[in-house]
Structures are given as structure tokens and as C-alpha cells.
Amino acid sequence: MSSVEPSASPVVASASAASRWGRWDSVLISLVAAAILYSNYLIFLVVPNERLMGPVQRIFYFHVGSAIAGYCASGVMLVAALAYLATRDRRADVVMEAGAEAGLVFSTIVMATGMIWGHSAWNTWFRFEPRLVTFLLLWLIFISFKVLRYFGDPARIPLHSAVLGILGALTVPLVVFSIHLLPQSQQLHPQVVGNRGLAPEFQYAMFVAMASIVALTFLLIWLRTRIGFLELQKELR
Amino acid sequence: METVPNTFPSLFWGYTILWVVLCVYIFSLGRRLRKLERDEHKQ
């Protein structure tokens, strides 16, 4: 079943709405930037050094926040993929691509910061254990999504992307629960259960960092969706 | 007296990579948007 091209009017309306919402961009960007700055202030000037790992432990705040952001982006990708499969509306494909791009950005950050932290703390860049391997799989799926967008059959890209997007989103629970497949003694990646062992000053900084990065994720998805709608409008003219 | 290990270089490179990746993506979005707006003005 081929994609159903939306008639020009709803797409033009969507793009126009996106343009009108652009006036709120500066407000949203300012709020998110302020949140990021505040979290950086907490991370670098308020929380103390971790006793065993020293300063490198501060990577933890944006490492965990970026992982949560990647999961949120996967959720957006999943919803948009399901919407595309149900309606074959190209606008859902635009949102799906926006979610996938944000997911790729933040999962790349997680991989990079995790490897640097792991090398510093445990002298190991990467290890084949459940959490790291499943997250690598998620990252590779995001990469595959972009490769598909560039090199896939143009007529089938949205459909194939939707299937790949659902597969990627289904990997997220695998990543989250993989940490429990082995006992802590057999894996380097920490098993975190609630806030056990985390001092209050660390908890607050972690919460603020996570909230600010997730806000940044949704802002980037929104901006990318707006760009996608404008490109779709231009294509349909 | 217990000393904290000096892992600042790792912290520096971790955050540098983080901000470089984010800035590259944000700038690429900005460039794409400006190109679209230019094309729209030309029409």
C-alpha cells in the first residue's frame, strides 16, 4: 500500500501553524537554555566530588539524562511510526524522522560519555555485557534509520522507516531491563535501584540535569518537525 | 588523608564531546531552516 499524499491544504495548514508557533521559539529556547545553565551550575559548582572516582563522576548527570532523552525520543518515534502505519500520512513520517534524529544525537552522547567515564573509572572503554550491548544495538538502529533515509527506495522510505522505528523503540525496554540479567559483580555498569546510596545533593542535581536535557530533546524534536513540515510543504507545491 | 583521583581530563573531554555533538546538530538545524526561508522568499 503506497503512501497517501496528504492534500495540500492540511499540509499547508500544518506548515503555517508551525510557522506561527515559531514566534514562541525564543521563549522556549530561553527557558530550556536557562534550565541547562542551572543544571551546569549545580553539576560544576554545587555538588561535591565523588570520593572514589573524582571529578569524572560528574559525567553521570548528563550521561543518565541523555539516556532518558534518547528513550523519550524513541517514544516519539514509536508513536509517529504507528500513526504513519495507520494513516500513511507523511506528516507522521516527518515527526518520526525528528524523533529518530534526536534519538541518534542523545544516544551518541550516551555512548561517548559512557566510554570516557568507563575508561577513567574502570580502565575499560567498552565491555560485552547486557546493558552496554543492548544500548549499542539501539544506537546502531538509529544509525540504520538515517542510512535508510539517505539510501532507501524513495517510494518506500516512510514505510520501511516506520518498521525500523518500531523495532528501535521496542529495544528500549530491553536496554532498561538488561541491567538485571547479570548480578552487579559480573558487570561494570552500575545497577541503580531508586535513589539507594545517592546523597540528597546528588539527587537534586540529577533531577535538574535529567529534566533540562529531556526538555531540550522535546524542543529539538519540535524544531526539527517544523523544518520537516516546511520541506514537505515545499515538496507538495 | 584520602585524596580524590585527578580525573578532570576525562571530565573535560566528556563534556566537550557532549557539547560539540549538540552544537553541530543545532547548527545543522539552523542552516536547514535558513535555507528553507531563503527559498521561500525567492518564490
Q: Is A231 in contact with B6 (Cβ distance < 8 A)? A: no
Is residue A205 within 8 Å of A61, Cβ to Cβ? yes
ipTM of the complex as predicted: 0.85
Residue from the list B2, B13, B40 with its beta carbon closest to the beta carbon of A116: B13
pLDDT digits over A103-152, tens only? 999 999 999 999 998 888 888 888 898 999 999 999 999 999 999 999 99
The DSSP H or E segment spanning A208 is helix A200-236
Q: List phi, psi (to 5°) of A4.
A: -90, 115
Contact A59 B11 (CB under 8 A): yes
Helix A157-178 to helix A90-122 angle (10° resolution) is 30
Cell of A115: 566510554
Nearest residue to A226 (alpha-carbon basis) of A5, A3, A29: A29
Chain B: give the shortest CA distance to residue A1, in Å: 31
Q: In this structure, how many other beta carbons lie within 10 angstroms of the beta carbon of residue A192?
A: 12
The verdict on B26 touching A (C-beta cutoff 8 Å) is: yes
**Closest CB to A54 among B6, B13, B26:** B6
pLDDT of A141-178, one tens digit each? 999 999 999 999 999 999 999 999 999 999 999 999 88
